[in-house]
């Protein structure tokens, strides 16, 4: 395909976007509290009109051998055993006993080959569906096409503690940029300064708009939009600052009081409130050393929490409208190194997904006996991107309209994994 | 000196050779770490996870990154495979007090009891690998020499199988008096078993994170276990009460990746039980890349305090996978380094080379209020001494296990390349 220049994404806009990102990211944490006000039924009703995405990103590259594609007793299989799941005939690793009981809600893709072992290349390919180019992430595309115009909440929120700051919206503009929350900590500067009276704040906003008009007279509209987006979202979130409250202790007992548990509970809240795409990062899978001990610890933390979140989404009747994806930037090497570690491996790894638009309980593709290569139905980030889009009702084979020019939403050389689509 | 597989060295350590000239018998020289040399080497296709010498010194056993346990005869090199019961890696091997049985603990949750010398061995002929060279295959030529089938000697009938833990059985230790066996696993429980009938005698509950190792003290009155957080618990074997808790430096939170790493990778008492050694890691920088320091913590059993930190000579990043108290009084440790190499290092506890690296909390009273005599003696906390080794044996592969013969003249190490190396000193 022809690579399109991203005219809406110049350096200044990126600069503005970063400021917006940093400024409003903290504020979004203010939304944490009000989700608990909804009953499951209300949440389900509210969500009936909107397709949403929940991304659970296992940062660093979860091992496919220790999760979705066990190879017990083989040369590279490692020490763990497979267990049965709620889907007859489907087995996953014993480190995921709670998730195993939810596999009737998920499907597994075991045949991903990204042809890269690089964190950044792998991450961007899995998010953008393209190996190169300044294209928007899954969450940004969802934000643009699935978020109602009157939705006061950001379309794309990422709950994490650390991590790389990517430019996620590309040419879609800063309105659809990922808003990053620093875990579930209360945001700083959430409240209006006490000595700034409301009427003065109104006058300041009026002045800002007036200056915007003058500044933007002969300049790109994208610049002014970036500033406006930042201010609008900040104001909307500040208006709801009183709704920020501590997470419910009983709910935390269910989710786990560790950071990942708190993030997943916040993710549920944000989905209930109508955020289009919520991404939760669970860190700690780049296991070049002690792969097995780390997977015991990390997946133990992931498993029950994720299964609880998935169960809640289902119980609230939201799963028909929420696409759930558990993924990494790649998998881990078949060969175990001298540190009991597994290194980067993008040639044959797995993800799991389910919910909105996805046929549950299936396994797509396969790797060979030792897990060293894909043996059936090879796919890559482009196929997955198309599949996500189609699942939530976005025609990935159509185009973005960018100042009158057409930019394919999904990579035209790839297609959705049709057998996964409901 | 490194030799080919199973072949003995032509040059034995001089210090080992006692001389005999008719009526006058010289006492053999004491084992000398400085003269440690590799005299034999066995190989396995997969990386080894640990090793133990049987009490007679005739056999060496090793676990591997497959589901087998392997026995080599040190003289003949004959290899016997114990398999068919564990369906995960074996992490720890121990022997019954009479030395006739081995106990293996696996990540499948099982403890398996096997005979060291089973009455019968199965002989399995392995299929000969076909020549897959296309040029040969297409030409129809046959190779000149016939390939002899490889023979495996297999033990697949264990004496007993115990489903010991829900979650992985990380450790098994046969108590020195032969009455009890201690195990621990990922169910966070330390268990004490009757050694004859394998009846569960007592459970010790309290570790908040996975316990990695447990030992029964030589006096049989106490157990000691250490978990992922570097917490060393001392338990009363009779009452099950936790009598003491030591907070060691053998743990770390990897801030970048937000995960804990630590725990004892090996544990040993000296002969009279006055000292305990715990091998593992400290100073975690980036544990996901193996960037942390190996360390061996020495606990004085009378005071129940950590008195020494044994540091490696090179300060290379890695993990201490083995600790052993030598009959001559020094401590020996085995290291697997981040760079893929390893060392066997020797410390004298009388040496003090460095000031303590950092002040860390040491012993604390137990939570349940129980205490032993020394616990009440709240004197000023002493910082452990940092001790550097007086001798180092360099190994070109990461070392994952270490054991000595009873006389301390021979040691064996298990390596990450599947080699098992025997040293005399």
Assigned token pair, A300 = 């133990």
pTM: 0.86
CB contact under 8 A, B417 and A297: no
For residue A195, the model assigns a pLDDT of: 81
Distance between CA atoms of residues B94 and B174, nearest Å: 7
Best B44, B45, B64, B65 member to test A by mutation, with max A CBs in 10 Å, is B65
Q: Which residues contact A170 (CB under 8 A, 6 or more apart)?
A: A6, A9, A128, A134, A135, A136, A137, A140
How far apart (Å, rounded) are the C-alpha atoms in residues A302 and A131?
28
CB < 8 Å from B in window 266-325 of A: 283-284, 286-290, 292-294, 296-298
Give the position of tokens 């881990």: A332
Question: What's the pLDDT at A223?
Answer: 65
Q: What per-residue confidence (pLDDT) applies to B48?
A: 98
- Cβ atoms of B296 and B323 closer than 8 Å: yes
Picking from B118, B114, B120, B112, the residue whose alpha carbon sits closest to that of residue B90 is B112
Is B257 within 8 Å of A283 when comparing Cβ atoms? yes
Identify whether the C-beta of residue B6 lies closer than 8 Å to the C-beta of residue B75. Answer: no
For residue A6, being part of any structural domain is answered with: no
- Say yes or no: B163 contacts chain A, CB-CB below 8 A: no
Give dist(CA A129, CA A132) in Å, integer: 9
Chain B residues with CB-CB distance to A291 below 8 A: none
* Residue A358 DSSP one-character state: B
Domain that holds residue A177: 11-420
Spatial neighbors of A218 by CB under 8 A, at least 6 apart, are: none
* Cβ contact A339–B258 (<8 Å): no
Chain A residues 351-380 with a CB less than 8 Å from chain B: none
Q: Which residues pair with A63 in a beta bridge?
A: none
Q: Say whether B397 and A339 touch across the interface (CB within 8 A).
A: no
Token pair of A121 as six digits: 């290349």
When scoring A57, A63, A79, A290 by the number of chain B Cβ atoms within 10 A, the one with the most, hence best to mutate, is: A79
Domain contains A2? no
In 10 A of CB B399, how many CB atoms? 29
Structural domains in chain B, sorted by start: 38-127+148-424 (2.130.10.10)
Q: How far is A251 from chain B, CA to nearest CA, in Å?
A: 22
Tell me what pLDDT residue A82 has.
Answer: 97
Cα distance from B398 to chain A (closest Cα, Å)?
7
Q: Give the Cα separation of B14 and B424 in Å (integer).
A: 10
Closest residue of B to A60, CA-based?
B257
pLDDT in tens, chain B (425 residues): 333 344 444 344 444 444 445 566 677 889 999 999 999 999 999 999 999 999 999 999 999 999 999 999 999 999 999 999 999 999 999 999 999 999 999 999 999 999 999 998 999 988 776 554 444 434 334 445 566 778 899 999 999 999 999 989 999 999 988 999 999 999 999 999 999 999 999 999 999 999 999 999 999 999 999 999 999 999 999 999 999 999 999 999 988 888 899 999 999 999 999 999 999 999 999 989 999 999 999 999 999 999 999 999 999 999 999 999 999 999 999 999 999 999 999 999 986 555 555 544 433 333 333 334 444 444 456 799 999 999 999 999 999 999 999 999 999 999 999 999 999 99
Q: CA B317 to CA A201: how far, in whole Å? A: 56
CA of B340 vs chain A CAs: smallest distance (Å): 6
* Pairing relationship of beta strands B419-424 and B37-43 according to DSSP bridges: antiparallel
In a domain, A1, yes or no: no
The Cα–Cα gap between B327 and B329 comes to 5
Of B65, B107, B228, the CB nearest to A336: B65
Optimal mutation site among A95, A338, A370, interface B, most CBs of chain B within 10 A: A338
Instruction: Give the span between the Cα atoms of A238 and A225, in whole angstroms.
Output: 20
pLDDT at B381: 64
B96 and A CB contact within 8 Å: no
Phi, psi angles (nearest 5°) of residue A70:
-70, 145
Residue B370's pLDDT is 37
pLDDT of residue B131: 52
Nearest to A284 among B89, B259, B319 (CB): B259
Q: Is residue A3 part of a domain?
A: no
What does the pLDDT profile of chain A (422 residues) look like in tens digits?
A: 333 333 332 332 232 232 232 233 333 333 333 333 344 544 444 445 699 999 999 999 999 999 999 999 999 999 999 999 999 999 999 999 999 999 999 999 999 999 999 999 999 999 999 999 999 999 999 999 999 988 888 899 999 887 667 889 999 988 899 988 887 765 667 677 778 888 888 888 888 888 877 777 766 666 677 667 767 766 766 765 544 567 889 999 999 999 999 999 999 999 998 999 999 999 999 999 999 999 999 999 999 999 999 999 999 999 999 999 999 999 999 999 999 999 999 999 999 999 999 999 999 999 999 999 999 999 999 999 999 999 999 999 999 998 889 999 999 999 999 999 99
Nearest to residue B348, comparing CAs of B303, B395, B298?
B298
User: What confidence score (pLDDT) does residue B8 get?
Assistant: 44
- Among A284, A293, A341, the residue with its CB nearest the CB of B258 is A284
Pull the structure tokens for residue B32.
């000398």
pLDDT at A231 (0 to 100): 72
Locus of tokens 């007679």? B56
Which CATH number fits the domain that encloses residue A294?
3.40.720
Judged by CB atoms closer than 8 Å, whether chains meet at A73 and B67 is answered as yes
In the three-class reduction of DSSP (H, G, I as helix; E, B as strand; rest coil), residue A45 is classed as helix
The ipTM is 0.86
Q: How many domains does chain A have?
A: 1
């Amino acid at each position: 395909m022809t690579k399109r220049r991203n005219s809406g994404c110049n350096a200044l806009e990126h600069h503005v976007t970063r400021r917006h990102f940093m400024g409003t990211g903290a504020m979004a944490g203010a939304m944490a509290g009000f989700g608990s006000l909804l009953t499951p039924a209300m949440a389900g009703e509210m969500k009936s009109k909107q397709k949403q995405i929940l991304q659970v990103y296992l940062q660093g590259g979860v091992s496919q051998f220790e999760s979705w594609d066990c190879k017990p007793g083989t040369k590279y299989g490692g020490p763990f055993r497979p267990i049965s799941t709620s889907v007859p005939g489907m087995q996953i690793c014993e480190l995921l006993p709670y998730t195993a009981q939810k596999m009737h809600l998920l499907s597994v893709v075991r045949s991903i080959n990204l042809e890269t072992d690089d964190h950044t290349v792998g991450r961007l390919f899995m998010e953008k569906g393209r190996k190169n180019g300044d294209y928007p992430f899954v969450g940004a595309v969802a934000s643009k096409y699935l978020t109602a115009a009157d939705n006061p909440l950001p379309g794309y929120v990422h709950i994490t503690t650390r991590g790389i700051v990517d430019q996620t919206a590309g040419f879609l503009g800063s309105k659809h940029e990922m808003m990053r929350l620093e875990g579930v900590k209360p945001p700083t500067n959430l409240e209006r300064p006490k000595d700034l009276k409301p009427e003065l704040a109104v006058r300041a906003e009026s002045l800002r708009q007036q200056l915007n008009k003058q500044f933007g007279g002969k300049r790109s509209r994208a610049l002014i939009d970036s500033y406006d987006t930042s201010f609008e979202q900040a104001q909307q979130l500040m208006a709801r600052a009183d709704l920020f409250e501590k997470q419910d202790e009983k709910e935390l007992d269910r989710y786990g009081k560790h950071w990942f548990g708190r993030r997943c509970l916040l993710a549920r809240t944000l989905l209930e409130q109508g955020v289009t795409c919520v991404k939760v990062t669970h860190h700690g899978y780049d296991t070049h050393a002690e792969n097995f001990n780390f997977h015991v610890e990390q997946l133990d933390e992931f498993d029950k929490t994720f299964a609880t979140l998935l169960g809640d989404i289902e119980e609230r009747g939201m799963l028909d409208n929420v696409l759930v994806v558990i993924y990494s930037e790649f998998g881990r090497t078949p060969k175990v190194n001298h540190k009991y570690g597994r290194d980067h491996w993008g040639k044959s790894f797995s993800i799991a997904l389910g919910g909105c638009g996805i046929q549950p309980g299936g396994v797509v593709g396969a790797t060979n006996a030792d897990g060293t290569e894909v043996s059936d139905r090879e796919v890559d980030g482009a196929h997955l991107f198309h599949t996500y889009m189609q699942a939530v009702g976005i025609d990935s084979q159509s185009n973005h309209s960018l100042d009158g020019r057409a930019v394919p939403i999904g990579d035209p050389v790839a297609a959705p994994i049709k057998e996964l689509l409901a | 000196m490194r030799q080919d597989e199973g072949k003995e060295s032509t040059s034995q350590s001089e210090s080992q050779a006692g001389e005999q000239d008719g009526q006058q018998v010289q006492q053999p020289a004491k084992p000398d770490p400085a003269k440690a040399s590799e005299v034999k080497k066995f190989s396995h296709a997969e990386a080894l996870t640990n090793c133990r010498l049987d009490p007679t010194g005739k056999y060496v056993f090793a676990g591997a990154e497959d589901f087998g346990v392997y026995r080599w005869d040190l003289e003949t090199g004959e290899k016997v495979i114990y398999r068919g019961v564990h369906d995960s890696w074996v992490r720890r091997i121990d022997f019954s007090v009479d030395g006739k049985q081995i106990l293996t603990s696996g990540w499948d949750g099982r403890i398996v009891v096997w005979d060291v010398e089973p009455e019968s061995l199965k002989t399995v002929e392995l299929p000969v690998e076909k020549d897959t060279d296309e040029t040969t295959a297409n030409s129809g030529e046959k190779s000149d020499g016939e390939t002899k089938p490889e023979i495996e000697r297999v033990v697949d009938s264990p004496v007993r199988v115990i489903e010991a833990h829900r979650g992985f059985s990380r450790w098994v230790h046969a108590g020195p008096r032969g009455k009890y066996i201690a195990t621990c696993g990922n169910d966070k429980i330390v268990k004490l078993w009757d050694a004859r009938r394998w009846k569960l005698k007592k459970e010790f509950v309290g570790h908040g994170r996975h316990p990695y190792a447990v030992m029964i003290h030589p006096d049989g009155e106490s157990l000691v276990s250490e978990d992922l957080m570097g917490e060393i618990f001392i338990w009363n074997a009779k009452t099950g009460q936790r009598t003491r808790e030591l907070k060691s430096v053998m743990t770390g939170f990897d801030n970048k990746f937000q995960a804990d790493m630590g725990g004892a990778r090996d544990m040993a008492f000296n002969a009279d039980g006055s000292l305990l050694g715990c091998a593992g890691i400290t100073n975690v920088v980036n544990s996901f890349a193996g960037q942390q320091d190996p360390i061996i913590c020495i606990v004085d059993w009378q005071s129940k305090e950590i008195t020494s930190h044994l540091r490696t000579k090179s300060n290379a990043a890695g993990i201490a996978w083995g600790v052993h108290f030598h009959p001559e009084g020094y401590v020996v440790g085995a290291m697997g380094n981040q760079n893929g190499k390893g060392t066997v290092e020797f410390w004298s506890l009388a040496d003090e080379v460095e000031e303590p690296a950092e002040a860390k909390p040491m012993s604390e009273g137990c939570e349940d209020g129980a205490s032993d005599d020394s616990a009440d003696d709240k004197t000023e906390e002493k910082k452990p001494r940092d001790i550097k080794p007086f001798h180092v044996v360099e190994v070109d592969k990461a070392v994952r296990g270490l054991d000595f013969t009873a006389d301390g003249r021979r040691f064996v190490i298990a390596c990450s390349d599947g080699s098992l190396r025997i040293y005399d000193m």
